[in-house]
Chain A
């Protein structure tokens, strides 16, 4: 069977809604439903290895939880494991989302939601600079080492200052260049933005979303 390509927007919508459903629907129904649902998604997308790994992790978590709930002193921690399990199916989908789609595809999916233009542009910038800054942290710690500026537990404030202050001022200097580069590329053009990476909503996307909604709404009615 050919692996299905699913519009990232489907995942985003499901993950925005699913955890909130715990307010209305019994977890004893919703959690298993979400587990089966995300397992099916992995199957449809041909991610068999990931499905296997996820299953092992889930079973292990369930084992720990059941064990802890049997021993009174550990009951409290059992509940914490349960909370982790609660978000497991969504986490599976989230990892799938991040690993399968590029940030350009993800952003264009959001544009399908007609978000205000400055917000889309701002998120584009943020998404680009998170990895950029993370890479540059190395340069900063490196040049601190070469200048003989050490992290010292005795002087936490000044150590932290050397670390963070230059980064803040660099952002401020950078923002002028980025604004200039952005304006000449039309980031403030009063035209509705289009997206090169936008995928048409297909029948399979609608179907998947429908299954999710019927499943949760069904839970609302039957599993009261």
Chain B
């Protein structure tokens, strides 16, 4: 693979800008049987917390038009087991590891961040935006003062690893939150998390998901994500990792035009684990055909002239 795809993000060199999104790629190893995960630019692992979390009752997922709702409930093995049982095997693959993490309280955010700062991982992604449990950071992600506070306090304890903050789309004005992250010292922003949604079985008159509401993901949310990345790019100087319904190399170019420097592929991994690799190949061809030396040539170059 060529240098065209090399992407420097927060000082880390990714072999390409395609990262698999947290919550859609397990701890990476689940996919190793199906694809060569070392071809990926990076992997953002399932959100890790201080203690193991069992997740929500079933049913947890429902397919909707060009998308899906989920309310898994941030189920994870906890930071200790992650470091002992998952990370060593994942590290054997030549790809960057981003650890998505969250806490129920400010103290938990800080505690997990400290542990991960000393671990053999490349970057941290702080989730302040999971809509599926009330302690899942959403309180931090929907109040700008709290966003600023959790970002600056976590940033203060980090000595080694860059901090990326994952924003919630379930706010009126994402610019305010992007600004709060930047002021708090975040090294990057990832956007967006899932959109809060709901689906009802008209025969039983009950919600399809036991949590009643769930996070909507997939191609259905891509236009919302493109708009929010565009607004974020116009608000802050720190780099942005674009997320939301990305399924093709064309989607990567679109997110690049509105200002994302790297991208995460999420729900598409469920559709077919081959998709992120197809995207990498498609993007490389696109850059070659258009004589672009790197995807960064396109970052934020959307033409808004009428």
A and B associate: no
